[in-house]
Amino acid sequence: MPAKTSSPKSVAHAFVKAINERDIEKIEKLMADDHRFIDSLGAIVQGRTRMREGWAAYFRLVPDYTISIEETFSNGAMVLMLGAAGGTYTSDGQLRPENSWKTPAAWRAQIKGNKVAEWRVYADNEPIRRLMAKAE
């Protein structure tokens, strides 16, 4: 029996849910083998295994990272989500209120066969950069 096909929008929202749960296993299962991540500065990370490691490292820096979606638009396999991202930066595992941040953000997901083939983030990284610089 063939696998159930989900809409691109539902796959993208499932990916956000997995991120918000900081569930590396779910995130990995939702990424295509050749998954491509593009950050807001244009840096590209290619491959599901590398991104699994990337997410794990990011969750160590921002253990309560959360995405909130306010609007979603889809066109075929492309899903655009608008909202905000935020969390608490930590260099020592302690979550301190003064190290929390939030910024408007957008995400573009390209969906292929019920998997996220590409995840592109558009966000102002300055709030977390300031916190990281202050911690050095």
Instruction: Write out the chain's pLDDT in tens, 136 residues.
Output: 345 668 999 999 999 999 999 999 999 999 999 999 999 999 999 999 999 999 999 999 999 999 999 999 999 999 999 999 999 999 888 899 998 999 999 999 999 999 999 999 999 887 777 777 877 6
Query: Which amino acid type is present at position 58?
Result: Y
Please report the domains of the chain, with CATH numbers, ordered by start residue. Answer: 8-135 (3.10.450.50)
pTM metric for this prediction: 0.91
CA distance 5 to 35: 19
